[in-house]
Amino acid sequence: MLMGLAVLLALGVLYAAFEIGRYDAGFRVVDSVRGALSASARIRDLEKENERQRTQLEAAEVARRVDREGYKQVERSLGDMQSQIARLNQDLSFYRGLVQPDSIIHVKVQQMQIVPETIPGLYRLKFVLMQTGKPDSVVAGSAAITVDGLLRGKPSSLSFGQVAPNRRVSLAYSFRYFQDYDEPIQLPQGFEPTRIGVEIRSGRDRDASHSFHQAFVWKAQGMSVETEAGGNPPVKGGADVQTETE
């Protein structure tokens, strides 16, 4: 009898444990389902946010490309305009060179090119002297070169004798139509050139005040272009001035 009661009690305990376990498992399943649903909703929110940010990024990329293309077009337009201005200035320089009114000196620099060499501070000045107006006869004289700039941060002006390897003070000329020059110069260490000047004197006129001066903005590996010119009858203590810039 007691044995039967014990068996029944054991069966009842096992059944109760089974039901409790199933009940607890049911809650865990519900929690798992709830967690899965919550995670799924979070994933959808993240995917929406990711899509929104991707759309913004694509829009920003398109805007950046448009801006870049716009900048390129502006740069091309500016480059074309500068090229046109340079060509027009060269034409203007040529026609100015044909007529140099009220000037005793009928010689001018038509082109100035500054070419850097491999040695630091060494350059070659390539330029052409030409006779203005009608070349009826041979002209002769001298041309003195100066280089203006900054030496260790302070304004400085170097004469041709200071930069020419052979220490010549000036360059002689004698021609009827034009004369080419290719002159090396060596700038001192720490000198930053900003402008180069050419003062032309006639061999027939002994008055030192009678000269024709041209100034070029220093531009290595490029051709300086005439943009300004001034010509007045030279007076004692003065000189015609002609400025060449980019």
Residue-wise pLDDT tens for the chain (246 aa)?
A: 666 666 566 666 566 665 566 555 555 555 666 777 777 788 888 888 888 888 888 888 888 888 787 777 887 777 777 777 766 766 665 555 544 444 567 788 888 889 999 999 999 999 999 887 777 788 888 899 999 999 988 899 999 999 998 888 888 889 888 899 999 999 999 899 999 898 888 876 665 567 788 888 888 766 554 444 444 444 433 334 444 444
Report pLDDT for 232. Answer: 40
Report pLDDT for 147. Answer: 92
Report pLDDT for 165. Answer: 87
Assigned token pair, 125: 């000045």
Report pLDDT for 180. Answer: 92
- Residue 175 β-bridge partners: 139
Assigned token pair, 218: 């220093």
Report pLDDT for 214. Answer: 87
Report pLDDT for 1. Answer: 66
From CA 217, how far away is CA 193, in angstroms rounded?
A: 9
Report pLDDT for 77. Answer: 79
SS3 203: coil
Question: Cα–Cα distances in Å, from 101 out to 28, 32, 149, 153, 239?
Answer: 107, 101, 31, 39, 14
**Residue type at position 190:** G
| 108 Cα distance to chain centroid | 31
Question: Cα–Cα distances in Å, from 153 out to 148, 149, 191, 192?
Answer: 12, 9, 8, 8
Q: What are the start-end ranges of the H helices in 128-239?
A: 160-163
Report pLDDT for 240. Answer: 41
Report pLDDT for 239. Answer: 39
Report pLDDT for 66. Answer: 81
Nearest to 193 by CA among 157, 229, 167: 157
Nearest to 187 by CA among 143, 153, 156: 156
For strand 225-230 and strand 240-245, is the pairing parallel, antiparallel, or unpaired? Answer: antiparallel
